[in-house]
Structure 1
Amino acid sequence: MVKKRTSYYKDLSADYSRPGLVSDQMKAKLLEDAAKYIALKEDTLPAIDASYTAEQIEKENKDWWPTHCEALRQGRGDLLTGEYRSDLVYFCQDGPYYGLDEQKEREQHWWALIAQPNVTMCWPIVMFWSEFVHFEWYCVDDETNEALAKGTVSWVRRGHRGACYYKSEQLTFYRDVFASPELLKLITT
Structure 2
Amino acid sequence: MKKRTNYYQELLADYSKPEPVAPELARTLIKSAEKFIGLKEKTLPEIGPDYTAEQIENENKEWWPTHCEALRQARGDLLTGEYRDDIVYFCQDGPYYGLEEQKSREKHWWALIAQPGVVMCWPIVMFHSEFVWFEWSCLDVETHEVTAKGSVAWARRGHRGGCHFKGEQLTFYRDVFASPELLDRLNTAN
CA deviations on 1:63-105 (whole Å, 9 max, x unpaired) are 0000000000010000000000000000000000011111101
SS at match of 2:122: strand
2-structure distance, mates of 1:21, 1:115: 13
Aligned to 2:139: 140
Establish whether residue 174 from structure 1 lines up as the match of residue 139 from structure 2: no
1:60 aligned residue: 59
Partner of 2:110: 111
Instruction: Indicate the SS of the match to 1:59.
Output: helix
Q: Which residue does 2:68 correspond to in 1? A: 69
Quote the RMSD (CA, aligned, Å): 0.6
CA contact (8 A) 2:18 2:139 kept: no
Structure 2 match to 1:18: 17
Note if contact 1:15-1:21 (Cα within 8 Å) is conserved in structure 2: no
Q: Please give the residue correspondences for 1:32-111 in structure 2 after superposition, counting only pairs within 5 Å.
A: 32-111=31-110
Q: Percent identity?
A: 71
On the 8 A contact 1:122/1:139 being kept in 2, the answer is yes
CA distance in 2, matches of 1:106, 1:181: 14
Deviates more, 1:15-24 or 1:159-168: 15-24
The equivalent residue for 2:130 is 131
Q: Are the equivalent residues in 2 in contact too, given 1:90–1:168 (CA < 8 A)?
A: yes
Q: CA deviation at 1:21?
A: 5.0
Do 2:13 and 2:21's aligned partners in 1 also have CA atoms closer than 8 Å? yes
- Letter of the aligned partner of 1:125 in structure 2? I
- Looking at structure 1, the residues matched to 32 and 149 of structure 2 have their Cα atoms a distance apart, in angstroms, of 26
Q: CA–CA distance in 2 between the matches of 1:59 and 1:22?
A: 21
Three-state SS of the structure 2 residue aligned to 1:140 is strand
Moved over 3 A (4+): none
Q: Is the 8 A contact 2:156 2:164 kept in 1?
A: yes
Q: Paired residues, what number? A: 188
Residue pair 2:91, 2:167 contacting (<8 A) in 1 also = yes
TM-score of the aligned structures, taking structure 1 as reference length: 0.98
Question: CA separation in 2, counterparts of 1:119 and 1:187?
Answer: 14
Q: Which SS does the other structure have where 1:101 is aligned?
A: helix
